[in-house]
Amino acid sequence: MSGGTLPIVNGLSVDVEDWFQVGAFENVIERDRWNDLDLRVQRNVEAILEMFEQADVKATFFTLGWVAKRHGPLMRMIADAGHEIASHGWDHARVYTFTRKEFGEDIRKARAELEDAAGVAVTGYRAPSFSIDQRTPWAYMELADQGYAYSSSVAPVAHDHYGWREAPRFAFQPLPWSKLIEIPVTTAMFGNRRLAAGGGGFFRVLPYAFSRWAIRQVNRREQRPAVFYFHPWEIDPEQPRVEGAPIKSRLRHYTNLDKMAPKLRELVREFAWGRMDMLAHREAPRAVELPAEIAA
């Protein structure tokens, strides 16, 4: 490390939802069937906690209120291990399907459940399926009104299921009157194209070398922290197979589940990682204002 500069600590996050709560299956498994399904999130999160402990890293667990309601002691276990508990909304409904009022109720209910279960304050939010974009100009107002410090809800890239391709790639301040900051998930530049490089399916499906290249590029060339995410079900090759989902969703969901844990171990060992609230705090002075023509 050269003299005087802080080492770049990247943001490590886990989106805590069960195997049947993912966007890919939302048209196949109705929400009212969720209670009858095999709950696997607890054992998967416990395995992740062990992995993080071995690597001596802290992370942020963006958790559904629905999960916190059923796994209270697990929330306490995550917080006691020094990780951050943050909100992933109540039951994974996308933000752009809500009115502002409905969104406000969803995040209020989820936060109350999380804080009650974990016994810590929740100050961060991640939208299900990165569903804050140009269609939801009220979402940041609601988060600011409810006193959130940061959001990590934007994928600044074009993707078939999500993405706000014009959004800034690094920390930005969505509202001129609020300190709330948005920390988008990581993209890497390939020529003048933005590539999704923050985890999820891309990390699981592509060789590890791609993620290594992308994070190094962001850290070394751009001198910014990367934001990485994955899900507990991604380390669970034994999970039940969902019939009737589109073939593309099935391919994306089930590829390389058995390779995910070793890959993650390599990732957490190779780079420096920390909680998202720490990262938001460090990035705040560098956050840019959201240009008006993008916000509209």
The binding site for Zn ion (CB under 5 A) comprises 15, 17, 128
Shorter beta-carbon distance to Zn ion: residue 91 or 142: 91
**163 and 134 Cβ atoms separated by less than 8 Å:** no
Cβ closer to Zn ion: 15 or 277?
Answer: 15
Q: Which is nearer to Zn ion, 24 or 181 (CB)?
A: 24
* CA–CA distance, 171 with 179 (Å, rounded to integer): 12
Q: How far is the CB of 17 from Zn ion (least distance, A)?
A: 5
DSSP element (H, E) containing 276: helix 276-283
CB of 34 to Zn ion, least distance (A): 14
* Among 57, 63, 130, 46, residue whose Cα is nearest residue 94: 130
Q: How far is the CB of 119 from Zn ion (least distance, A)?
A: 23
| Chain position whose Cβ is nearest to Zn ion | 15
Distances (CA, A) of 125 to 176, 185, 296: 19, 13, 22
DSSP letter at 84 equals E
CA 251 distance to own-chain centroid: 21
Complex with Zn ion: residue 21 or 211, whichever CB lies closer: 21
Minimum CB separation from Zn ion for residue 88, in Å? 6
Residue nearer to Zn ion on the CB measure, 70 or 282: 70
CA dihedral 161→187→284→143, nearest 10 degrees, is: 0
206: exposed, middle or buried (Cβ count in 10 Å: 0-12, 13-18, 19+): middle
Q: Which is nearer to Zn ion, 16 or 279 (CB)?
A: 16
Q: How many CB atoms lie within 10 A of CB 145?
A: 13
Please state, in angstroms and rounded to a whole number, the distance separating the CA atoms of residues 187 and 164: 12
CB of 289 to Zn ion, least distance (A): 28
In angstroms, what is the minimal distance from the CB of 273 to Zn ion?
Answer: 20
CA separation, residue 66 to residues 17, 33, 112, 113, 211 (Å):
9, 13, 11, 8, 31
Strands annotated E in 148-247: 150-151, 172-173, 181-182, 187-190, 193-196, 227-230
User: Judged by CB, which is closer to Zn ion: 12, or 287?
Assistant: 12
Nearest approach in angstroms of CB 292 to Zn ion is 30
- To Zn ion, the closest distance from the beta carbon of 92 in angstroms equals 6
Q: Could you write out the three-class secondary structure of 23-50?
A: HHHCCCCCHHHHHHCCCCHHHHHHHHHH
**Closer Cβ to Zn ion, 225 or 232, answer by number:** 232
